[in-house]
Amino acid sequence: MVRQILTSLLAGTFVCAASGLVLAQGAAPPAAPKAAKKDAAPKQPAAAPVPAAPAAAAAAAGGVEPTLLGQYGTWGAYAATPGGKRVCFALAKPSSSKTNPPNRPRDPAYAFVSTRPAEKVINEVSIMIGYQLKPGSESSLEVGGAAYAMYTQGDGLWIKNAAEEERMVDAMRKAADVTVKGISAKGTETTDTFSLKGLAQALDRIAQDCRR
């Protein structure tokens, strides 16, 4: 499904805009009638709005509007069921981004950690980096003092050696941040740093929700 997600992103499903998909909000209960008894329950305040899901979340959910399971630090935990198959993922934006040469324009970047029970995929890390990567270029993800080579295609990154992914995710659970480096098709070097605050809790939540 990762390749399907990438295909949809390259086809324009990935809308790199600050606007998001608005998730359902709880409705406030009706106000008590004027003639209510003195001991009647007081009017309840309206439910707090649910944060909007970025358009990237819908792309990761196969075009289906995802449900926000919870926000944990900088990471949102989402779930959707496109085509009857459960998909859960944690998503975050970079806490800082740099380009060399400086100030080069690019679309927003996102980090995903996805679980798809129907495909027996657990905690698959991918990065939508916000530009077309230079074909054949080297990209890396650095966390916990180790660097992991990343496979690149279009504007997406995945770990080259799948056998290292579990170790990488374990390091991400414990570290403060992760750094992702790439080179655009125009030769611009980028460095994105993602805070990992809340990632462990987000992964625990999607593991609980994606058991089915």
What predicted TM-score, i.e. pTM, was given to this entire model? 0.72
> How confident is the model over 63-81, as a mean pLDDT?
91
Which domains occur in the chain, in start order? 2-13+52-209 (2.60.40.1880)
Predicted local confidence at residue 83, as pLDDT: 87
SS3 for the chain, per residue? Answer: CHHHHHHHHHCCCCCCCCCEECCCCCCCCCCCCCCCCCCCCCCCCCCCCCCCEEHHHHHHCCCCCCEEEEEECCEEEEEECHHHCCEEEEEECCCEEEEECCCCCCCCCEEEEEEEHHHCEEEEEEEECCCCECCCCCEEEEECCEEEEEEEECCEEEECCHHHHHHHHHHHHHCCEEEEEEEECCCCEEEEEEECCCHHHHHHHHHHHCCC
- Confidence band for 56, pLDDT divided at 50, 70 and 90: low
> How confident is the model over 121-135, as a mean pLDDT?
94
pLDDT for 2 beyond 50: no
pLDDT digits (tens, 9 = 90+) for 59-69: 555 557 899 99
Predicted local confidence at residue 58, as pLDDT: 52
pLDDT digits (tens, 9 = 90+) for 155-190: 999 999 999 999 999 999 999 999 999 999 999 999
- Confidence band for 5, pLDDT divided at 50, 70 and 90: very low
- Confidence band for 136, pLDDT divided at 50, 70 and 90: confident
- Confidence band for 78, pLDDT divided at 50, 70 and 90: very high
Instruction: Identify the weakest region by mean pLDDT among 26-40, 100-114, 117-131, 135-149.
Output: 26-40
